[in-house]
Amino acid sequence: MKKRRVIIESPYAGDAATIARNERYARAAMRDCILRGEAPLAIHLLCTQPGVLDDRIPEERKLGMQAGFAWGDVAHATVVYEDLGITSGMKAGIDRAVAAGRPVEYRFIPGWTNDPSVQLRQRPGKPQKAPDAAPPASKGHESQNAPQGPRARPAALASGARASSAKGARGARGAS
């Protein structure tokens, strides 16, 4: 069975405590995707590991984002985890997905808490069926790339003003 490849967008940057929380959140997002039967990539979590790139150095941050954009070219969807809000870095990934015609899905993590002592063991929402083939490499296949899933949004909403949501409006808003 071919796994559905997804790029995860979630917050990263901030002070040490915020980064620790955001790393824990990105790991929870990875778990959520895997339990849905997807093959996720959170490039911001991978590239910021010690000895890889330093997100505080603008040139290195840009290199990491470009690496994520390249992986996005072979992804079936971009999945935006928005419990903590949408940051400027996440918005760049969303804009890139919309420009490529890749579906953008918005999710919350069931049972998410900012308390680091709480372990999430809850299963995610209904698993999604993996597509039979990889996404088309060129533009012009928008009907094949229509947003899917309960949290999917039309490209116009994903690229422009977000629909207001009480939960989406809460949380930290900082640089990704």
Domain ranges of the chain: 4-112+148-169
State how far the Cα of 61 lies from the Cα of 89, in Å rounded to an integer: 10
Q: What is the pLDDT of residues 104-124, one digit of tens each?
A: 999 999 888 877 776 655 444
The pLDDT value given to residue 119: 60
Q: Report the percentage of the chain scoring pLDDT > 70.
A: 66
What CA dihedral angle connects 137, 143, 149 and 150, to 10 degrees? 140
Helix or strand holding residue 105 (H, E): strand 104-107
pLDDT: is 72 or 131 the higher one?
A: 72
Q: Residue 9 CA to chain centroid, in angstroms?
A: 2
8 — pLDDT class (breaks 50, 70, 90): very high
The pLDDT value given to residue 111: 83
SS3 state of residue 41: strand
Domain 4-112+148-169 in CATH: superfamily? Answer: Hypothetical protein PA1492 (3.40.50.10400)
pLDDT at residue 65 above 70? yes
The pLDDT value given to residue 118: 67
